[in-house]
Amino acid sequence: MKKNELAINGGKPVRDSWLSLPYPGAQLYDEQEARKAFEACMSKSPFRYYGIHYLGMVEKFEKDLAARMHVKNALAVTSGTAAVVVALKAAGIGPGDKVIVPSITFVATAGAVICAGAVPVFADVDDTMHIDPKKLEHVVDKYTKAIITVPLAGAPCQIDEIMAFAKAHNLMVIEDVAQSMGSAYQGRAMGTWGDLGTYSLQMNKILTTGEGGAVVTNNDALYERAVRYHDQGQLRMDPSRSADPALTFPGQNYRMSEITGAVANAQLDRLDFIISGMKKTKKILKEELKDIQGLTFRRIIDEEGDVGASLIMYAPDNQKALEFIKAMNAENIGFYQLYGGKPVYMNPQIFTKNTVEGKGFPYNQFDEEIVYTEDMCPTACDLAARMVMLSLSPVFTEQDIEDVIQAVKKVSSAIF
Ligand SMILES: Cc1ncc(COP(=O)(O)O)c(C=O)c1O
């Protein structure tokens, strides 16, 4: 066997065991989460607004999250998808409206728009994998009411330029920060630039309660609408105005339980530790791999504000990207492509324009037909197909980092 023979060709893999460490928040679960959940159970008060020995765990999470993000209001909800729906509804978005969505994101961002009764239109991205602010002009029209930005896989997006465009066109901005809690641009937290921001606490996210989410906003009127929409139109913190006929409307139930809130408190305490661990790992990897042949790093607009949840590089083409991933996997390192290497609108839920009602709604609310084509966002198609990604985690050891560096060097010198 030749020294440095790729494992995929029968050589010895760089590692004997599989290295894939997603789920940063879940990796750190221990007695801290268990104790909080236990306390919530022992209080006999699993409901967020009252109980037998009520502790107010959800309320504390909201206060602490708002303080951590330097934002006025935070509202805990049941998921990141619920958070986007609540934010859209708080912003008054619904039937007859279009919402600009990035062409690379998880299907939930676009799905939430449709579930809110509006239609997503897709903006192409640039080499940051975020909306290219220059492309917004191509997709805005008289029906457009909002832009949703998505800081992808831990990195901040060009929110200042998006805000300027939105202001010029009188659009609301909702930041879907599901994947990037704690990320920042110019020192200001992602989620706090727009009219509303949302986070997810699902298993794959930076912090997790299994399921959960939050909406944040500096705007008190939007906050009140969000609270009402998530709780059947009620405003329990101000009973005198709760049923005010001028302010109330029917809502959903997206309330977080106290058990979830308890674990959310334990996890929020870990946010800075998680971010500093991931950032340290990413810094070493980028430094050691900066001259690597055949791969270029995804552009990050503010390295300081990147939480370091992922290392994303671009291969010269799709075939080489898949070849690299296969060879890295054989070396026991879990590189992969986000979303099957495709833009979000290629998900059949979106591309077919099927909806649960099956009656053409909400796509039939406009003068012209809504048309989605495979190549409508060419840069997204290109980058999604060429990307290779490794999820980073606060529990990477020095040996893990060394193995990644060695394997990337070994594989890239053989295949590029
Ligand atoms: C960008 C984005 N938005 C929304 C969501 C939905 O979050 P949840 O799974 O908590 O509903 C996700 C989750 O993967 C996401 O990545």
Question: Of all protein residues, whose CA lies closest to atom 10 belonging to ligand 1?
Answer: 80
Question: Of all protein residues, whose CA lies closest to atom 12 belonging to ligand 1?
Answer: 178
* Shared-domain flag, residues 282 and 219: no
pLDDT tens, position by position, 55-95: 999 999 999 999 999 999 999 999 999 999 999 999 999 99
Contacts 24+ apart (CB under 8 A), 358-367: 361/95, 361/117, 362/95, 362/96, 362/114, 362/117, 362/118, 362/119, 363/119, 365/95, 365/96, 365/119, 366/96, 366/98, 366/119, 366/143
* Shared-domain flag, residues 181 and 329: no
* Shared-domain flag, residues 67 and 212: yes
pLDDT tens, position by position, 284-341: 999 999 999 999 999 999 999 999 999 999 999 999 999 999 999 999 999 999 999 9
Residue 1 has pLDDT above 80, yes or no: no
Within-domain flag for 1: no
Strands 310-314 and 119-123: unpaired
CATH classification at residue 168: 3.40.640.10
CATH classification at residue 278: 3.90.1150.10
* Shared-domain flag, residues 169 and 306: no
pLDDT tens, position by position, 133-163: 999 999 999 999 999 999 999 999 999 999 9
* Domain boundaries, position 382: 7-21+271-341+378-415
105 lines ligand 1 (CB under 6 A): yes
Of all residues in the chain, the percent with pLDDT exceeding 70 is: 100
Both tokens of 86, joined, read: 């609540």
- Provide the domain count of the chain: 2
- The identity of residue 55, as a single letter, is L
Residue 16: band (very low, low, confident or very high) from pLDDT cuts 50, 70, 90: very high
Within-domain flag for 256: yes
Nearest ligand 1 atom to the CA of 84 is 4
Of all residues in the chain, the percent with pLDDT exceeding 90 is: 97
179 lines ligand 1 (CB under 6 A): yes
Question: How large is the C-alpha radius of gyration of the chain?
Answer: 22
Within-domain flag for 358: no
* Shared-domain flag, residues 162 and 62: yes
151 lines ligand 1 (CB under 6 A): no
Residue 234: band (very low, low, confident or very high) from pLDDT cuts 50, 70, 90: very high
Give residue 318 CA to ligand 1 midpoint distance, Å.
Answer: 26
108 lines ligand 1 (CB under 6 A): yes
Both tokens of 385, joined, read: 């197909």
List Cα–Cα distances, 156 to 186, 220, 307, 309, in angstroms. 9, 25, 9, 11
Q: Residue 4's pLDDT is what?
A: 86
Q: Annotated catalytic, 205?
A: yes
* Shared-domain flag, residues 17 and 60: no
* Shared-domain flag, residues 12 and 53: no
Within-domain flag for 367: no
Nearest ligand 1 atom to the CA of 211 is 10
**Average pLDDT over the chain, rounded to whole?**
97
pLDDT tens, position by position, 406-416: 999 999 999 99
Nearest ligand 1 atom to the CA of 81 is 11
Q: Which of 270, 301, 326 is the last residue of a domain?
A: 270
Check: CB of residue 407 under 8 Å from CB of residue 20.
Answer: no
Check: CB of residue 376 under 8 Å from CB of residue 331.
Answer: no
| Cα maximum dimension of the chain | 79
* Shared-domain flag, residues 179 and 220: yes
How many angstroms separate the CA atoms of 328 and 14, rounded? 9
Q: Which of 214, 249, 270 is the last residue of a domain?
A: 270
Helix boundaries (H) for 337-397: 348-351, 378-386
Q: Of the residues 23, 79, 81, 209, which should be mutated to test ligand 1's pocket, given the most ligand atoms within 8 Å of the CB?
A: 81
Q: Which of 270, 298, 315 is the last residue of a domain?
A: 270
